């Protein structure tokens, strides 16, 4: 409660300061525009009534006496420059045409001439004060440029600063009062709620995952304490279940590490054993018919056990290849970029129409999908080929994220198209041919699809479609 009060006070003060600053900025901007429009209307009136020819050279004569009158009426300094930026006339008493006055900077002249409105406002901070200086073209009755009107404007935020200070003082008083009330309520509630929790706290401190924890039994406890006791006792039950699951998970992890090696060691001798038993069965011809039947039964039993071991080994191998999902909320675009960083090839390009595509899935499995497809693309491009290219693209289509991996390698022959996702099938000289089959299983576990298009001799495009999952 106290923290929320402090956060609320800081947020309110910050928002108020920003709002006051925005209002002050808008006020000065609008005020300068109003004064500029009024002065321009007055200038147009003077140009329409003067007897002097409307030329750039006559501007000092036209506004010889009028410029001070304009400055007094509008309470603003007025400077008139030539189209090349030379000062012609100023309402400032210290300025004199005989002295060398600073011209308009070249960048200001360019901005005025290039803008649609032929106007530019230069903003500068000098000695802690903010100055707005408006530059706009003066035109004759036929809209021909005669010169440049400059209106220096000092932003006086004294009124807004005083109002902001008074508001912050009142806000601080209100939140100080709320903070005192929050402290009082927090103390009262903590004393009331924790009055009967000392015995429970000691029991909770003794709770450990590596031992059997006793449940709490207290009589004559308040409703709040009873709810806490029930929650603790439920936690003890779940803790025991978690301990069992953790032990099982540790065993499964160890199994995953040795599953492939065990499966390989088991499956290799199975076929020779089967053939040996069958051959022994055929050649063995004892004189005792009963002994022959026993050997036959033994052989059939042994063959049956060998078939069972083969099935177990295959299941064991598949289990080792598919780790459990550890889903998390992630940005697909960032993960794909991260997966591509492990490759040193400079011909791998990444493109995404979106900066962020959020979904829920296993980070490791997504990286496995990308690295496998990119690695296959690299291996599909001959080493002596020029202009190598692998393009990885990510885009969002409705509630689906599409990931494409395109290479310009040798492509896939027509006779191999239907077998590309088969386990143990490969067109390479090395490897077990499990990569595409495994990632296909990963994608299908997320209700996604993987397809490809290949043109033999030109390249292949793999497309992975995954539904966007939101938790």
412 neighbors 459 (Cβ within 8 angstroms): no
Question: How much is the mean pLDDT over the chain?
Answer: 76
Distance of CA 217 to the CA centre of its chain: 49
**Residue 251 banded pLDDT, cuts 50, 70, 90:** low
| 340 torsion bin: left (phi>0), alpha (psi -120 to 50), beta (else) | alpha
The answer to whether 225 and 197 are in contact (CB under 8 A) is yes
> Percentage of the chain surpassing pLDDT 90?
13
Cβ–Cβ under 8 Å, residues 336 and 354: no
Give the H or E element holding residue 162.
helix 158-193
Question: pLDDT band for position 72 (50/70/90)?
Answer: confident
User: Whose CA is closest to 423, among 433, 411, 410, 408?
Assistant: 433
Highest mean pLDDT among 17-26, 213-222, 320-329, 338-347: 338-347
Tell me the pTM: 0.36
Give me the pLDDT at residue 55, please.
Answer: 85
Q: What is the pLDDT of residues 425-453, one digit of tens each?
A: 455 543 333 467 778 888 888 999 999 99
- Rounded to 5°, the CA angle 116-117-118 comes to 95
Binned at pLDDT 50, 70 and 90, residue 218 comes out as low
pLDDT of residue 166 exceeding 90:
no
Local structure of 427: helix, strand or coil: coil
């Amino acid at each position: 409660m106290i923290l929320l009060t402090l956060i609320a006070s800081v947020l309110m003060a910050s928002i108020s300061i920003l709002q006051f600053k925005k209002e002050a900025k808008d006020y000065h901007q609008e005020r300068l525009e109003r004064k500029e429009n009024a002065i321009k209307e007055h200038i147009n009136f003077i140009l329409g009534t003067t007897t002097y020819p409307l030329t750039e050279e006559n501007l000092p004569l036209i506004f010889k006496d009028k410029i001070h009158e304009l400055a007094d009426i509008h309470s603003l300094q007025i400077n008139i420059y030539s189209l090349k930026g030379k000062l012609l006339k100023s309402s400032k008493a210290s300025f004199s045409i005989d002295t060398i006055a600073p011209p308009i900077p070249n960048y200001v002249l360019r901005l005025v001439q290039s803008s649609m409105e032929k106007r530019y406002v230069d903003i500068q901070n000098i000695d802690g004060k903010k100055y707005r200086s408006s530059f706009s073209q003066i035109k004759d009755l036929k809209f021909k440029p005669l010169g440049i009107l400059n209106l220096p404007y000092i932003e006086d935020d004294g009124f807004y600063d005083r109002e902001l200070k008074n508001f912050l003082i009142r806000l601080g008083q209100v939140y100080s009062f709320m903070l005192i009330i929050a402290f009082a309520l927090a103390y009262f509630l903590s004393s009331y709620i924790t009055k009967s929790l000392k015995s429970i706290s000691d029991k909770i401190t003794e709770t450990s995952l590596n031992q059997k924890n006793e449940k709490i039994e207290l009589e004559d406890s308040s409703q709040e304490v009873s709810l806490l006791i029930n929650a603790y006792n439920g936690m003890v039950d779940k803790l025991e279940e978690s301990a069992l699951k953790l032990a099982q998970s540790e065993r499964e992890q160890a199994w995953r590490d040795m599953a492939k090696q065990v499966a390989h060691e088991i499956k290799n001798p199975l076929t020779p054993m089967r053939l040996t038993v069958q051959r022994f069965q055929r050649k063995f011809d004892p004189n005792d018919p009963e002994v022959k039947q026993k050997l036959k039964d033994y052989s059939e039993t042994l063959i049956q056990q060998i078939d069972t071991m083969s099935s177990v080994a295959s299941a064991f191998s598949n289990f080792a290849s598919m780790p459990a999902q550890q889903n998390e909320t992630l940005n697909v675009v960032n993960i794909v970029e991260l997966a591509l960083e492990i490759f040193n090839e400079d011909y791998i390009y990444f493109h995404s129409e979106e900066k962020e595509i959020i979904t829920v899935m296993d980070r490791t499995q997504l990286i496995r999908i990308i690295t496998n497809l990119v690695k296959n693309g690299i291996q599909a491009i001959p080493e002596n080929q020029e202009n190598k290219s692998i393009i990885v693209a990510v885009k969002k289509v409705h509630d689906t994220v599409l990931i494409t991996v395109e290479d310009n390698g040798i492509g896939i022959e027509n006779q191999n198209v239907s077998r590309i996702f088969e386990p143990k099938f490969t067109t390479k000289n090395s490897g077990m041919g499990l990569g595409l089959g495994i990632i296909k299983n990963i994608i299908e576990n997320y209700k996604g699809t993987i397809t490809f298009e290949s043109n033999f001799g030109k390249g292949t495009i793999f497309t992975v479609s995954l539904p966007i999952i939101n938790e």
